[in-house]
Amino acid sequence: LSLYVFHLFYKFKVLVLVTLCLMVLWATFSYFVDSRQESYKAKSMVEDSEKEEKIESIAKVPTMKSFHCPALSPYLRGASKLTFKASLTLEEVQKENPQVVKGRYHPTECSALQHVAILIPHRNREKHLLYLLEHLHPFLQRQQLDYGIYVIHQAGSTKFNRAKLLNVGYLEALKEANWDCFIFHDVDLVPENDFNIYMCDRQPKHLVVGRNNTGYRLRYQGYFGGVTALTRDQFSKVNGFSNNYWGWGGEDDDLRIRVEMQKMRVVRPSPDVARYTMIFHRRDHGNEENGERMKLLGQVSRTWKTDGLNSCSYKLLSVEHNPLYVNITVDF
């Protein structure tokens, strides 16, 4: 009996020992499984957190297309005293404007409100053009504009035709880009105040309220020359400029009459902002006063539909994409 009891007790101890071993093995296995699951969960949480932070950071960093530039740029300085260095070179102006490529610029920090083409009629005014480019490029960049500058050069010896050159500039610029706004700009007028915003308005805009050679007063009631801004729709509606003004004078008044005939009105910035310096020069040979201008002005109501953009014929000699501007050379 005692032997039987001993064997029974021995089997019981073995059974207990085996059970304990199994329990230890199970506990160890469970520990490793749970640890792995916790590690995976922790890793997932970290990855999710990193993803959320990345998305958040992307949302916080503005891209050029994510928002529009403000109506009033934070970079504006107001009135500036202009200086014109006699020794200025084109290379110096290029060096000061590294972001301008083939006459084009756009802000990188936001999306410009308008795409603006600056059209400058030109013949034998290289120094004036250089001074204008020197001041105009930084002026437009401070306004956060997407812009391009087009210089329309009249070749040949025929009388200068400012209005027709501007029609050419409009037509040729539209072949390159879908511009919203056109600034028709004399080469000898330099803006003094960058709060004079080079954007188009709901009505045709006249930007030269005053200039130094007129005591900063409007030249005369109804004056619409020097620098004007019209949208593509406004300029098309009036059929552009007349092509018949050879020599100096009359074409700007003709345009104002066309604007008024289309029930539009001329708007202007405030006189303390719309100020220009006119670079002194003598009247150019080939740009003598137009003796026919008063007669032509009396015919606008009869001629505007057939004399303008739809009848602008010219010989295109070249289109050169210079670093600071696009040079369009034509002959009439």
User: Mind telling me the catalytic residues?
Assistant: 186, 188, 248, 251-252, 278, 281, 283
Number of CB atoms found within 10 A of residue 41's CB: 10
CB distance 304 to 239 below 8 Å: yes
Picking from 68, 63, 85, the residue whose alpha carbon sits closest to that of residue 131 is 85
Q: What is the SS3 assignment for 119?
A: strand
Picking from 185, 172, 201, 203, the residue whose alpha carbon sits closest to that of residue 276 is 185
Q: For residue 166, which amino acid is it? A: L
Name beta bridge partners: 309.
Answer: none
- Residue keyed to tokens 């050379």: 329
Tokens representing 128 are 């004036």
| Enclosing H/E stretch for 215 | none
Residue 327 to residue 286: CA distance in whole angstroms: 21
- What would the DSSP string read from start to end of 33-97? HHHHHHHHHHHHHHHHHHHHHHHHHHHHS--TTTSBPPSS-TT---B------TT--HHHHHHH-
Q: What is the sign of the dihedral through the CA atoms of 216, 221, 227 and 231?
A: positive
CB distance 121 to 168 below 8 Å: no
Where does residue 149 rank: exposed (0-12), middle (13-18), buried (19+ CB within 10 A)? Answer: buried
